[in-house]
Amino acid sequence: MLTLMRQEINEIPAATARLIEGSGEAIREAGRALRELDPPVVVTIARGSSDHAAHFLKYAIELQLGIPVASLGPSLASIYEAPLRLSGAAAIGISQSGKSPDIVALTKAVRDAGALTLALVNTLPSPMGDAASMAIDIQAGPEKAVAATKSFVNSAVAGLAIIAEWSDDPALRAALARLPRDFEAALKLDWSVLVDKFRDAGSIYVLGRGPTLAIAAEAALKCKETSELHAEAYSSAEVLHGPVSLVAPAFPVIAFAARDRAEGAIADIAAGLSAKGADIYITSGKASGSVPLPFVDTGHPLTDALALILPYYGFVEQLSRARGFNPDAPAALNKVTQTK
């Protein structure tokens, strides 16, 4: 019998198709509003996997539109009650439930401070959706497993679709239209080679650069949540500024590389770590001494990066069971985290 987590991973292509079809008009409206506003800066509001989706969208906005994006700490509103100055800015809040009190408080504070505030939520109506200027249903459907999978992916896809409308980019629109098919292909990729290597590991590094850094952060979180395996995500450049000192022979590393301008740089770092004796697994064929992991070429660097998380989710669900855990019910975690 499949775990709930595995069932929800398998639902991702259908959930993405549902989002593109069912929330298309809301996405186009949000894109038009952002184009008319032409904000000089964008801020994001999120925690956990939703924050990794926000981090992914940070890179997407900066690469596509050249507009700087910053993450705001929810405690600014919920604890410090700090006044914000955001007139003319835009904000993107992301939440599966739309209920976390600190996220709701910051969404309201940002809107009150003058920002056009978009909420990407899987639950409407919800307090976060009500607090925002505009709410977009990410259409992931009910997510019963504690570890977020399809809601993470659909949050990122919703953001990319808004960016495609905002920037009026036909290439990104076309890549998004292909995503349900590409995600189906990504689900069929086999990363089980990692299970035996990581089953008895005590710690791993997960690397990325640009948009894949957000994918690395999400991957590291899922390792901790579902498998109680210590995992740290680093930029493939930042890992050389200290963390590399822990990389000993047989130290396991996953490097996420998309088909973009950072692929060669990530591959070079992976090759250097391999030369130190580390066990390197990379989604590229360019790194000497590393084990290549299969990937789907989606035809666009941003969707290439996002598609990498699907075979990883399949692997980490296997890993959780191989390490003797239940991936549907990680210890000490709840679906909705009530933080102030």
State pLDDT tens for residues 285-299: 998 889 999 999 999
Using CA of residue 166, residue 168, residue 173, residue 175, what is the dihedral sign?
A: negative
**pLDDT tens for each residue of 66-122:** 999 999 999 999 999 999 999 999 999 999 999 999 999 999 999 999 999 999 999
Strands 252-255 and 291-292: unpaired
Q: What is the pLDDT of residue 243?
A: 81
With a cut of 90, say whether residue 337 has pLDDT above it. no
pTM of the model: 0.95
Query: For the chain, what is the mean pLDDT?
Result: 95
Confidence of residue 251 (pLDDT cuts 50, 70, 90): confident
Tokens, residue 316: 């980490």
Separation between Cα atoms, residue 70 and residue 43, nearest integer Å: 5
In this prediction, residue 242 has a pLDDT band, given cuts at 50, 70 and 90, of confident
Binned at pLDDT 50, 70 and 90, residue 336 comes out as: low
The helix, strand and coil proportions of the chain, stated in percent and rounded to the nearest 5, come to: 50, 15, 35
What is the per-residue pLDDT for 340? 58
Say which range, 42-56, 157-171, 214-228, 231-245, has the weakest mean pLDDT. Answer: 231-245
pLDDT classification of 335: cutoffs 50, 70, 90? low
Inter-CA distances, 237 with 38, 69, 106, 115, 232, Å:
32, 20, 32, 33, 14
Question: Taking residues 241-267, what's their average pLDDT?
Answer: 89
pLDDT of 239 reads 82
Q: For 63-74, how does the pLDDT look when each residue is reduced to its tens digit (9 = 90+)?
A: 999 999 999 999
